[in-house]
């Protein structure tokens, strides 16, 4: 499920989700234990409202998004809130895959870990270290 070898149909949402779940399965236990309630969604594009709220004009410019409060900011007062969600946007991911030539599994892992990083309130450096740990797993 790697590069862009062969000609065929574009990877579907189920393929993107499987790649993301494979990434999550490789996370260190300390991270994986705190993702049980996070919902993973693969959608074609971000909706207009989401794009507008982020100041993004084109839907292909957003590959993923975390909706929720980072773990360190949660409190008992959050009861009744929607579950935290990680959105992966299939068409934007595929567009970046084609433009960059990065292997699809590596790109999906990168986007997934970036969004998981927001769930934990990680810095960019911490996200890169987590990505390296998953790649080595």
Low-confidence ranges of the chain (pLDDT < 50): 1-2
Task: Output the pLDDT for position 73.
Answer: 61
Query: Average pLDDT over the chain, rounded to whole?
Result: 85
Give bridge partners of residue 39 from the DSSP assignment: 85
- Between helices 13-25 and 90-100, what is the axis angle to 10°? 80
CA 1, CA 130: separation in Å to the nearest integer? 22
Task: Give the pLDDT score at 7.
Answer: 55
pLDDT of res. 1: 47
Query: Which pLDDT does position 124 carry in this prediction?
Result: 83
Q: What is the pLDDT of residue 107?
A: 96
């Amino acid at each position: 499920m790697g590069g862009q070898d062969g000609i065929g149909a574009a990877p579907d949402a189920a393929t993107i989700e499987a790649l993301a779940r494979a990434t999550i399965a490789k996370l260190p236990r300390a991270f994986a234990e705190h993702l049980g309630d996070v919902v993973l969604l693969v959608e074609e594009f971000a909706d207009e409202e989401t794009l507008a709220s982020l100041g993004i004009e084109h839907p292909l410019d957003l590959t993923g998004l975390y909706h929720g409060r980072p773990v360190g900011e949660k409190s008992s007062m959050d009861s009744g809130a929607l579950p935290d969600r990680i959105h992966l946007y299939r068409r934007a991911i595929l567009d970046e895959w084609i433009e960059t030539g990065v292997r699809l599994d590596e790109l999906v892992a990168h986007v997934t870990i970036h969004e998981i990083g927001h769930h934990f309130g990680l810095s960019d450096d911490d996200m890169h270290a987590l990505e390296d740990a998953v790649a080595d797993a």
